[in-house]
Amino acid sequence: MANNIIALFLGAAFGFSLNKAGLTRYNKIVNVFRFTDLSVLKFMMTALVVAMSGLYALRGLGLITFPRIPETYIVGNLVGGLIFGVGMALAGY
């Protein structure tokens, strides 16, 4: 139960950050592929850098263990990414 409440709050913060970054808009998503508005990239990379340093610092301190890391299948990840990109550029979400 506590876990579900955490999920709800984290999800809310997630949705809030997406909304405030403007990633709920068609033009923001598509324009990153046209190099006219790099918000998506800035948003993703900032999140990555913050989370990466936070997680590795916490693991270094012995406070957390990592969950199951997404498996690597080179062809699967790459082909999936290629298909995903087509959908993302068409749908714009």
Partner 1 sequence: MNWIKTQFQKELWSPYVAGVLLGIVGVLAVWLSDSLLGASGAFENLAGLVGKAIAPKLFDNLYFNFIMPPGITWGVILLVGVFFGGTVGALTSRTAKIRTMDDAQWKRIFGPQVWKRWLLLFVGAIILQYGAGIAGGCTSGLAISGGMLLAPAAFLFMAGMFASGILVALIVYRRRY
- Residues 46-65 contacting partner 1, CB under 8 A: 46-52, 54-55, 58, 63-65
CB 1, min distance to partner 1, A: 11
Rounded Cα–Cα distance for residues 32 and 42 (Å): 10
Rounded Cα–Cα distance for residues 64 and 58 (Å): 6
Q: Are 24 and 18 in contact (CB under 8 A)?
A: yes
* Binding to partner 1 in span 9-28, by CB under 8 A: 9-22, 24-27
Number of residues that bind partner 1 (CB under 8 A): 73
Rounded Cα–Cα distance for residues 61 and 80 (Å): 35
* Binding to partner 1 in span 26-45, by CB under 8 A: 26-27, 30-34, 39-40, 42-45
